[in-house]
Amino acid sequence: MKTNPDFSFKWATILFNYKDYQIKYRNGMWSSIEEIWINDELKHRKSSWKWRSQNSVELSNGEMLNFDFGYEKIKGKRITQALSLYVKSGENEIFRLEPEKEIIGWKGLLVCLLIGFLIGYFVLPLIFG
């Protein structure tokens, strides 16, 4: 099984199993699209730019799952935020993904700034002559 969350260029994907169901929660990395898949069948697709979203999906056995997904501050860190997902069936929590590490920290931000500077310095003069 892949690590949770699994990041690709297009999606942040969280996979877990509950009873006889394989559940996949996907959130677009460059878009506002969020999807919930149950046993490879799309059950929910919505566009949302909110920091946190709450959604409900009904399973084939009539059970309702409540999803709470978004970003939250990592304990002990000042500005750092990371992904979290909490899934409940009624009052019972069936899945929890708490933030463990930041998506991009200050080191990652410095690398992005350096790459942007280098591209701007060397590529833009070639384009605009």
State the pLDDT at residue 1: 44
Confidence of residue 2 (pLDDT cuts 50, 70, 90): low
pLDDT exceeding 70 applies to what percent of the chain?
Answer: 81
Confidence of residue 4 (pLDDT cuts 50, 70, 90): confident
**Tens of pLDDT, residues 33-65:** 999 999 999 999 999 878 888 999 999 999 999
Evaluate whether 42 touches 60 at the Cβ level (below 8 Å): no
| Mean per-residue pLDDT over the chain, rounded | 83
Task: Show me where the domains of the chain are located.
Answer: 6-103
Task: Please report, as a single letter, which amino acid is at residue 23.
Answer: I
In the beta sheet, which residues pair with residue 6? Answer: 13
Class of domain 6-103 (CATH, top level): mainly beta
Q: Among candidates 112, 96, 92, which has minimal Cα distance to 104? A: 112
CA distances from 38 to 42, 46, 113 (A): 7, 15, 39
